[in-house]
């Protein structure tokens, strides 16, 4: 339908754009807005200017909404952005786009992080014990009785982990129309990696042994004592029975320090196991023999350098303790 302006009839958007002095695409947007909103199209909220004038919620309202779900988030129950999106839609009484939910999280600096592991039996008493334990680490060196011994005192952490042939399937990147096919065997054959790390220096010692018992622990500790004979070592470990057994010898340069019950989070080697399983490609991989598992472990552990070990294990509270 021709548009009359004064004595002229405008039949095309190109003619109107020339008359208005704007681009053709801008002319189309003006026509579209006018058709949708009528004579009040110029009064409608548009992009640009202050964000609050065009947003579904103000920054304060968004912050209040996230504060309401913070407890749920800190318990690990906000797993995907649609969990937040549902809260937003419930509050607004209307649907919102996925992008709005993502942008809201980004505006308030929320990030997706792996939770810190905590034992199910861990409670207020356990957390109090952890606080005392951190203070104890700093004073444990007094137990070295030989005042003439000038060797440096180092804080080491020790743990062992089981690696086996049971396949661990997890998500992976594929092409749009593809889907990976991996093995899914359930064979209970295992080997054990014993490791100790000094977070301060990034030094470590590891040994692959067939079992987790007093005999294997005795062999491991004997070799650790010889490998670091130039140090006096405070060795932090959990309270497993094979760590406290009567068969374990007393080494002149190692003093054990047992971490509180139900507190694996104080031992940074737990993070090292996660690193080995991820970087060593233990997931989505089928091992045809225990020897293949051992070979993969040897390869990954030998590739761990000091800087990597320090970045994984040097927690803030450990820096304060040393």
195 beta partners: 159, 206
Q: What is the DSSP letter of 258?
A: E
pLDDT digits (tens, 9 = 90+) for 69-121: 888 888 888 778 788 888 899 988 888 888 888 888 888 888 887 777 666 76
- C-alpha to C-alpha distance for 154 and 145, rounded to whole angstroms: 15
Q: Which domains are assigned to the chain? A: 1-44 (no CATH), 52-115 (no CATH), 124-170+180-321 (3.30.420.10)
Residue 274 pLDDT more than 70?
yes
**Residue (of 269, 253, 262, 275) closest to 318 by Cα position:** 269
Which of the four pLDDT bands, split at 50, 70 and 90, describes residue 49? very low
- C-alpha to C-alpha distance for 312 and 204, rounded to whole angstroms: 12
- C-alpha to C-alpha distance for 150 and 317, rounded to whole angstroms: 26
Residue 3 pLDDT more than 60?
no
Phi first, then psi, for residue 126 (nearest 5°) are -65, -40
Better-predicted residue by pLDDT, 8 or 27: 27
**Residue (of 187, 260, 254) closest to 217 by Cα position:** 254
Please count the CA atoms within 13 angstroms of the CA of 8 that sit on its side-chain side: 7
pLDDT digits (tens, 9 = 90+) for 138-175: 677 777 778 788 888 899 999 999 999 888 888 887 88
- C-alpha to C-alpha distance for 249 and 264, rounded to whole angstroms: 25
pLDDT digits (tens, 9 = 90+) for 241-265: 888 876 666 788 898 888 888 888 8
- C-alpha to C-alpha distance for 136 and 123, rounded to whole angstroms: 20
With beta carbons less than 8 A apart as the criterion, state whether 273 and 161 touch.
yes
Please count the CA atoms within 13 angstroms of the CA of 309 that sit on its side-chain side: 22
């Amino acid at each position: 339908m021709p548009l009359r302006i004064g004595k002229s009839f405008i039949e095309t958007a190109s003619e109107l754009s020339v008359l208005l002095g704007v681009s053709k695409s801008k002319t189309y947007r003006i026509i579209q807005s006018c058709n949708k909103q009528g004579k009040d199209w110029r009064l409608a909220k548009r992009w640009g200017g202050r964000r609050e004038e065009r947003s579904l919620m103000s920054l304060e309202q968004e912050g209040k909404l996230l504060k309401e779900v913070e407890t749920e988030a800190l318990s690990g129950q906000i797993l995907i952005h649609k969990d937040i999106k549902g809260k937003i839609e419930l509050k607004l009484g209307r649907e919102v786009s996925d992008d709005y939910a993502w942008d809201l999280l980004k505006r308030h600096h929320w990030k997706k992080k792996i939770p810190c592991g905590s034992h199910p039996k861990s409670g207020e008493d356990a957390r109090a014990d952890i606080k005392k334990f951190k203070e104890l680490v700093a004073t444990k060196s007094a137990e070295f009785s030989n005042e003439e011994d000038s060797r440096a005192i180092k804080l080491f952490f020790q743990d062992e982990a089981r690696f086996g042939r049971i396949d661990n399937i997890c998500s992976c990147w594929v092409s749009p129309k593809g889907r990976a096919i991996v093995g899914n065997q359930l064979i209970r054959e295992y080997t054990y990696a014993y490791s100790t790390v000094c977070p301060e220096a990034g030094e470590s010692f590891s040994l692959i042994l067939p079992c987790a018992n007093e005999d294997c622990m005795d062999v491991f500790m004997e070799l650790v004592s010889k490998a670091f004979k130039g140090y006096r070592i405070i060795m932090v470990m959990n309270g497993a029975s094979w760590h406290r057994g009567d068969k374990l010898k007393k080494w002149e340069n190692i003093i054990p320090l047992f971490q509180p019950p139900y507190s694996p989070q104080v031992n940074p080697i737990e993070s090292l196991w996660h690193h080995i399983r991820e970087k060593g490609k233990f997931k989505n991989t089928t091992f045809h023999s225990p020897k293949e598992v051992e070979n993969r472990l040897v390869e990954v552990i030998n590739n761990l350098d000091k800087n990597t070990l320090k970045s994984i294990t040097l927690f803030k509270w450990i820096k304060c303790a040393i």
